[in-house]
Amino acid sequence: MTPLKDVKVLVVDDNALILDLLMKGLMQHCDAHAAADGADALLKIVDDPPDLVVCDYRMPGLDGRQLFEKLRGRQQTKSIPFIFLASRGDIEEKLKLIVEGVEEFIPKPFFLKDVVRRTKKVVDRLQLEKLQKRAVRPGVIQGRLEEMSIMDLMQSLEMGQKSCALTIRRGGESGQLFFSGGQCLDARVGSIESEAAVYEAVKWRDGQFEIDFNVAPSRTTISRTTTGLLMEALRLMDEEQREAAGTEAEPAET
C-alpha cells in the first residue's frame, strides 16, 4: 500500500519480528523504511535522510543513543526528530537527559497500536510542516482530505496550538472550522453550525482543504476542547455504525 503522506520514517530495531510488526503498522500512515540495527540505520540516514527516526535503544554495536548522537554531530542530519523505544529504566537513567530532538519516549513492553498512534501524531505534524513549505501564498496551505483527514488536521492544529481558519470543500459543499491556540471555537458546514458542524465535517473522507493562518475566529460557539470534540465525534460514529449494523441484521417482514 502506497501511503498518501510523503513523510519518510526510518524504523530501527535489531529484533526482526518487532521490526516487521512496526513496519506493517506504520506503512499505511507514512513512507516507512526499515533498518536492522544502528550501523545499518546510520548508513541509510547519511545516504538519504528521513523526516523521522523510530528507534530501539538497546541494539548490538551502535545503540540508539549513539546513533542519535552521531546524527546530531552532522549538519545535514542534526535536526531529524527521534522516537525512542526503550525500557522504563533506560528511559529514566539514560535517555531522559536527551530533550532536544526527541519527540517521544515509548516504554517497553508496548502495544503496537500505541506506537502507531503516537508516531502518527508526529507524522501528521511533519506532513503539515511540509505543506506549509509548499504554501501557495504566505500563511495559507492547501491539500487533500485523502492525504490528511479532518481528525489528522484537527489533532495537528491542537498540538501546534495554531490559530487559523480550516476550509473544506467537496463538490458543491463547503465548510469552515475556526481555531485559536489549537482549540476549535466555531464551525459551519452548510447550514449546520457549532459542534454539530464539526461532527459532520469529520465524516468527510475526500475533498480539498485550505488552512489560512491569517484568519482568527470572530465568535465562539463551541465549549468543548478539540480533543473533546474528536472523542465525541468518534463516539457518535461508533454509535451510527452499531445502529446501521443492527438495522441490517433485522429480518425482513413477510
Question: Is it the case that residue 189 has pLDDT exceeding 50?
Answer: yes
Alpha carbon distance 195, 188 (integer Å):
9
Question: Is it the case that residue 251 has pLDDT exceeding 70?
Answer: no
Assess contact for 31 and 6: CB atoms under 8 A: yes
State the residue range of the domain holding 206: 135-243
- Helix locations, 104-169, DSSP H: 112-133, 150-159
Specify the pLDDT at position 249. Answer: 54
Last-in-domain residue among 114, 129, 144: 129
The CATH number of residue 111's host domain is 3.40.50.2300
Question: Is it the case that residue 175 has pLDDT exceeding 60?
Answer: yes
pLDDT digits over 221-244, tens only? 999 999 999 999 999 988 888 888
Do 19 and 123 reside in the same domain of the chain? Answer: yes
Q: What is the mean pLDDT of residues 182-203?
A: 96
pLDDT digits over 8-52, tens only? 999 999 999 999 999 999 998 999 999 999 999 999 999 999 999
**In-domain check, residue 70:** yes
| pTM for this prediction | 0.73
Specify the pLDDT at position 248. Answer: 59
Question: Is it the case that residue 218 has pLDDT exceeding 50?
Answer: yes
Do 219 and 194 reside in the same domain of the chain? Answer: yes
**In-domain check, residue 251:** no
Q: How many domains would you assign to the chain?
A: 2
Split at pLDDT 50, 70, 90, the class of 91 is confident
Do 40 and 124 reside in the same domain of the chain? Answer: yes
Alpha carbon distance 197, 143 (integer Å):
20
Last-in-domain residue among 75, 95, 129: 129
Alpha carbon distance 8, 10 (integer Å):
7
Nearest to 76 by CA among 36, 37, 38, 47: 47
**In-domain check, residue 248:** no
Helix (H/G/I), strand (E/B), else coil: 211: strand
